[in-house]
Amino acid sequence: MTDAQLLREFAATGSEAAFTDLVNRHAGPVHAAALRQTGDPHLAEEVTQAVFVLLARKATAISPDALLLGWLLRATRYAASDLLKSERRRRARETAAYQMNDHAEPETAHETVRLWDRIAPVLDGCLARLREKDRNALLLRFFQNQSLSEVGSSLGVAEEAARKRVNRALDKLRTELQRDGAVASLAVLPELLSQQAVPATPGGLVGSTVSAAMAKGAERVTRVTTLSQAVAREMTWSSLRTWLATAGTAVALLGGGVWVGQTLFARDVAAAVLANGDYRIAGFNDPRVVHQFIRDLQRELRAGERDAVARFVRYPLRVNGAGFNRSITSETAVLESFERVFTESVAGEILKCPAQRLHCTKDGVMIGGGSVWIAPVPGTGEPRIALVNLP
């Protein structure tokens, strides 16, 4: 079965066998990437478990067309970074990789090891900077050990086209490595990747990872689960930033200035944000109070300040959505379910406002297509998010 078929089976039935097959296939590359980035076998195992805990939770949301290993290694980068921050360690790329002055190619096994030690800490960051097609070609060829014929089949191209894509990708990777101070010739790089990128998976790692993802055991699952939740948030915000850029809103939202900053501060607020209806119907005598609330909320969303965003909520907050339909009564509860409430779609609606008209009713002020509703706090009249409709 393909990765997509196994993932679909697990998402539909919760099959532990299907999930175990996925872990068996990909734990090696994930653990190897985690080890490169953390430099610590124990931390690498925690990162690996956190990534597959996240996979178990996000199985239904992953596109069947996506290369699963690419998704897993992206999650690995976030997990390793977060874990290193929590452990107050410096990433290995800030040391040996940038100190390399010797451009000579390795002539002995010792030199090969030295070169790999310089490449390893920066490899995943360099891979992440490649275009997805180039990155996938390298992952399939050197991280999943596929033949060029198999790479072509996976990418939907002929073998010769796959060969050219892999060679071009290697050239681009070498350029990125060189920028980070790790120099390797095109003659040496393929061999290094083939031999060093995915070493043998530690014994017992697959079993412990499946147990963590299936919430078996108690002692270490708590830390791993917390890490997986942090990774989910990072990936959501990263995707949102990418979406904003590709949607043509980057110029408007970068540099501390938002579209609202360019427009609402430039002329009368009421003229810039139009409402379908009277703000007084929604409980607000002064539209500028709502407009300032939106600007402040956008600022905190762009900064990724979850604690601050939670203070923009009126409790209890009503959240309506398939599989997540509830009333949330506190800031703590919002923070625990933050990525489920402020999804990429919901945050996108807020950040696009007030490019769209605001609709006012007796129930409040609607943002965008109705994902978010703002209503006054009883007694104070201050605007707060009162309702979130998930897509």
Helices (H), ranges, 156-248: 159-179, 189-196, 205-213, 221-246
Between CA 95 and CA 17, with CA 199 as vertex, the angle to 5 degrees is 125
Q: Under a CB-based contact definition with an 8 Å cutoff, are residues 359 and 353 in contact? A: no
Q: Under a CB-based contact definition with an 8 Å cutoff, are residues 213 and 318 in contact? A: no
- The whole-number pLDDT of residue 216 equals 53
- The whole-number pLDDT of residue 72 equals 94
For residues 302 and 115, what is the distance between their CA atoms, to the nearest angstrom?
39
Q: What would the two tokens of residue 113 be?
A: 């090891």
- The whole-number pLDDT of residue 52 equals 92
For residues 107 and 130, what is the distance between their CA atoms, to the nearest angstrom?
29
- The whole-number pLDDT of residue 236 equals 63
Q: What is the mean pLDDT of each run of 10 residues along the chain (391 residues)?
A: 91 91 92 89 88 89 87 90 67 38 48 74 86 90 89 89 89 84 71 78 78 61 64 64 47 33 32 56 86 88 84 92 82 86 82 67 80 90 91 70
- The whole-number pLDDT of residue 238 equals 61
For residues 333 and 327, what is the distance between their CA atoms, to the nearest angstrom?
10
Q: Any idea how long the chain is?
A: 391
Residue 384 has φ and ψ, to the nearest 5°, of -150, 160
